[in-house]
A and B are shown apart, each in its own frame.
Chain A
Amino acid sequence: MTDAKDKAAKHSEDKETLLMRVEQEAVQNPFEGVDFSELELSLYRPRTLFSIILSYVVAAMTLFALIPLFAVLGMLLWRGGKVLSPTLFTNLPPAPLEQGGGFGNAIIGTLIMVGIATLITVPLGVLTGVYLAQAPSESKLASAVRLCSKVLTGFPSILAGVFAYGAIVLITGGYSAIAGGIALSILMLPTIILTAESAISMVPAKMKEASIGMGATGAQTVWMVLLPTAMPGILTGIMLAVARAAGETAPLLFTALFSNYWLASHGRLNLMQPTASLAVLIYNFAGMPFKNQVELAWAAALVLVTLVLILNLIGRSFSRQQIE
């Protein structure tokens, strides 16, 4: 109210008095009582000095934190690259004191077990994501499922192995690629669920409403509108999950164990036998006192990291397309 009255009063003044008032106010010092030296950006002032020093401290700490991270990659390229050769991809792991050898069966084993895990988790995870994205916000089941998948993201990988050991190895009576794949799927599931949910709920509501308005059923809307539109985001989630599973060691230690032979018996693919994987090969060979095995471990680590990083970059490129 006072504001409005002021305005009215100002309007009623004629131009001359207004001009006089402006002059008067301009003469008064508006910065009276302000200590300008306080505002100076000078190194002699403790406040600014503190700020600048902390900036450099943080920069140094970031640099210091990045050194080991890149040292890992550098060391891999150096020590793994030294021994990398095409025969590594076709040969079987060497026995102790044997020279040469490779890890062809480990690469195939990793791919097969990750493939099994992907076959299990993709339908389960994506449909759960569909449910979560479509469920009303007050749904108790949906929030419970969401919380469960968030808790699963931090689930210790070794416990997935312990579970698969108790639930599958003990029952089927032996270490197998199937048990390894199931252990890996527990670790892949939460990533796929959470990324699928966020990708589907980011589809504009008008597309879904248009589809329903045209008379499509819920299932048709999901299959023909929501999933195709959200596909880049879902693929990102799947690739990230696959990349994580490919590098996991702990769940495979006592579910798939390790094997020095190809994943076959009597010339046929056999998924119910101990299976080699790159990650377990690195773990086993790193602890051996033989130089040849240690070098193979470095080469396998280089191959594994390359595989994981490529999968990651592919996954990220999907979601980048969506944003642009």
Chain B
Amino acid sequence: MASVPDITRAHEEVAAWHPGQIWNPPSAAQKWTDRVFRRLCVVFAASVIVLIAILVLEIGVQAIPAFREYGVGFLYRATWDPNKANYGILPEIWGTLYTSLLALFVGTLFGVAAAIFLSEGYLGEAVFRLLKVCHLDFHPIWGKLPSRIETILKTLIELLAAVPSVVYGLWGLFVVIPLIRPVCNWLHSQFGWFPLFSTDLSGPGILPAVLVLSIMILPTITAISRDALVSVPPKLRMAAYGLGATRWETILGVLLPTASRGIFGGIVLAFGRALGETMALAMLVGNANRLTVSLFSPANTLAALLANSFPEAGAKEIPVLMYAALVLLAITLIVNLFGALVLERASAKTR
């Protein structure tokens, strides 16, 4: 009977520690704090929506004078001449989409490959085989390496997403451009008739910008795709193996289609990031108001235009730049909204 606690004793003891605190109903002050706190939470949450509304309104209102003056033609004129007050952003829109799509293509190719590599446990297998050769496969410390090394690699790739874009820009400027310039100029001299190679690379240009941009979005694609692949129920994989499918028949026929929504959402988010990416492009794309498909020609993007022109803009140029900012805002908002909705659907489906 000793195990049954003496409830009255316990109550008395607790009352001795916290005199008058346990059984009192909340005081008026506590109730008031509670109410204020709840309201505060709601107000703060609502302020996030208000913030987005203010963001859009602020940029929109500032752009009104330019919209009145240049109208929709602003979107498809190709000149940018502050002296004659003649503005159009077609080359910038084209440059933004062209560099982002090219970077997305390269980034997706390598990013999804890396995600498959990481989710299939190839690295762990390889390390395990290596350990087996050295007879260390069940060693208390080394034996844990195969399972650890994949998390380490995954963390490393995620850390690389945190490297600031200005650093990638610096690297592109002093490492990538000198490295690829001989190859590009050789391609131009041999295949100059081909539209993609129709100019030579004299410095900053589309190709170095695309390469650096694809390196920057790769960690995003890899991380989201890997999560999507890992969350495919293992029974699907087992069933495919059980039916005699090889590893790659399983990957291509079962895993990728099942994870496709998650991967697609990741790609759309990466696309949004590429569209809005500023610094690396401002440093690498060359800031030339040129409408071109040549990979080696300098060009410009909306974000880079803003970064380069805003600091020196006069009072007349500011509304024009605000108009350009509004266009960029519209493009990225649509892409991001789409990506967020796709990812939400994907996670709802796997649940």
Beta-carbon contacts of B286-305 to A below 8 Å, as 1s and 0s? 00000000000000000100
User: In the docked arrangement, what's the CA distance between A281 and B57, Å?
Assistant: 31
In the complex, chain B residues whose CB is within 8 Å of the CB of A55? 120, 122, 247-248
Q: Are A47 and B249 in contact (CB under 8 A)?
A: yes
In the complex, chain A residues whose CB is within 8 Å of the CB of B350? none
Closest CB in chain B relative to A28 CB, distance in Å = 22
Q: In chain B, residues 38-65, which have Cβ atoms closer than 8 Å to a Cβ of chain A?
A: 38, 40-42, 44-49, 51-52, 54-55, 58-59, 62
Contact (A132, B34) CB under 8 Å given A158-B278, A162-B310: no
Q: Does A263 contact B (CB under 8 A)?
A: no
User: In the docked arrangement, what's the CA distance between A62 and B133, Å?
Assistant: 24
Contact of A159 (CB < 8 Å), options: B33, B49, B55: B55
In the complex, chain B residues whose CB is within 8 Å of the CB of A298? 170, 174
In the complex, chain A residues whose CB is within 8 Å of the CB of B269? 154
Q: Does B234 contact A (CB under 8 A)?
A: no
Q: Nearest CB to that of A142 among chain B residues? A: B45
Q: Does B262 contact A (CB under 8 A)?
A: no
What number of A residues sit within 8 Å (CB to CB) of B?
92
User: In the docked arrangement, what's the CA distance between A279 and B175, Å?
Assistant: 19
User: In the docked arrangement, what's the CA distance between A69 and B170, Å?
Assistant: 14
Q: Nearest CB to that of A216 among chain B residues? A: B26
Contact of B52 (CB < 8 Å), options: A134, A152, A217, A218: A152
In the complex, chain B residues whose CB is within 8 Å of the CB of A39? 244
Q: Are B37 and A297 in contact (CB under 8 A)?
A: no
In the complex, chain A residues whose CB is within 8 Å of the CB of B48? 124, 128, 145, 148-149, 152, 189, 193
Q: Nearest CB to that of A39 among chain B residues? A: B244
Q: Are B170 and A218 in contact (CB under 8 A)?
A: no
Query: Size range of the interface on B?
Result: 35 or more
Q: Are A283 and B283 in contact (CB under 8 A)?
A: yes
Contact of B42 (CB < 8 Å), options: A124, A141, A150, A313: A141
Q: In chain A, residues 26-75, which have Cβ atoms closer than 8 Å to a Cβ of chain B?
A: 38-39, 47-48, 50-51, 54-55, 57-59, 61-62, 64-66, 68-69, 71-73, 75
Q: Are A305 and B332 in contact (CB under 8 A)?
A: no
Closest CB in chain B relative to A162 CB, distance in Å = 5
In the complex, chain A residues whose CB is within 8 Å of the CB of B58? 163, 166-167
Q: Does A176 contact B (CB under 8 A)?
A: no
In the complex, chain B residues whose CB is within 8 Å of the CB of A142? 45
Contact (A154, B272) CB under 8 Å given A62-B117, A65-B114, A163-B55: yes
Q: Does A235 contact B (CB under 8 A)?
A: no
Q: Does B231 contact A (CB under 8 A)?
A: no
Q: Are A247 and B162 in contact (CB under 8 A)?
A: yes
Contact (A50, B248) CB under 8 Å given A61-B114, A148-B52: yes
Q: Are A154 and B336 in contact (CB under 8 A)?
A: yes
User: In the docked arrangement, what's the CA distance between A163 and B53, Å?
Assistant: 12
Contact of B303 (CB < 8 Å), options: A76, A135, A158, A279: A158
Q: Are A158 and B307 in contact (CB under 8 A)?
A: yes
Q: Are B340 and A166 in contact (CB under 8 A)?
A: no
Q: Does A215 contact B (CB under 8 A)?
A: yes
User: In the docked arrangement, what's the CA distance between A72 and B175, Å?
Assistant: 9
In the complex, chain B residues whose CB is within 8 Å of the CB of A243? 162
Q: In chain B, residues 149-198, which have Cβ atoms closer than 8 Å to a Cβ of chain A?
A: 155, 157, 159-160, 162-171, 173-175
Q: Nearest CB to that of B279 among chain A residues? A: A249
In the complex, chain A residues whose CB is within 8 Å of the CB of B306? 158, 161-162
Q: Are A150 and B25 in contact (CB under 8 A)?
A: no
Q: Are A71 and B167 in contact (CB under 8 A)?
A: no
Q: Are B37 and A218 in contact (CB under 8 A)?
A: yes
Q: Are B169 and A50 in contact (CB under 8 A)?
A: no
Q: In chain A, residues 140-190, which have Cβ atoms closer than 8 Å to a Cβ of chain B?
A: 141-142, 144-145, 147-159, 161-163, 165-167, 186, 189
Q: Does A208 contact B (CB under 8 A)?
A: no
Q: Does B130 contact A (CB under 8 A)?
A: no
Q: Does B328 contact A (CB under 8 A)?
A: yes
Closest CB in chain B relative to A193 CB, distance in Å = 7
In the complex, chain B residues whose CB is within 8 Å of the CB of A66? 114, 157
Seen from chain B, the residues whose Cβ lies within 8 Å of a Cβ on chain A are 23, 25-26, 30-31, 33-34, 36-38, 40-42, 44-49, 51-52, 54-55, 58-59, 62, 109-111, 113-114, 116-118, 120, 122, 155, 157, 159-160, 162-171, 173-175, 211, 215, 218-219, 222, 244, 246-249, 251, 269, 272-273, 275-279, 282-283, 303, 306-307, 310-311, 321-322, 325, 328-329, 332-333, 335-337, 339-340
Q: What would 13 more interface pairs be, CB under 8 Å, given A215-B23, A308-B163?
A: A62-B110, A65-B113, A73-B163, A123-B44, A124-B47, A158-B307, A159-B276, A218-B37, A249-B166, A283-B279, A286-B166, A301-B166, A305-B163
Seen from chain A, the residues whose Cβ lies within 8 Å of a Cβ on chain B are 38-39, 47-48, 50-51, 54-55, 57-59, 61-62, 64-66, 68-69, 71-73, 75-76, 79, 123-124, 127-128, 130-132, 134-135, 141-142, 144-145, 147-159, 161-163, 165-167, 186, 189, 193, 215, 217-220, 222, 240, 243-244, 246-250, 253-254, 257, 279, 282-283, 286-287, 294, 297-298, 301, 304-305, 308-309, 312-313, 316
Can you list 7 A-B contacts with CB-CB less than 8 angstroms, sorted by A residue number?
A: A158-B307, A158-B325, A161-B310, A163-B54, A166-B59, A249-B164, A250-B279
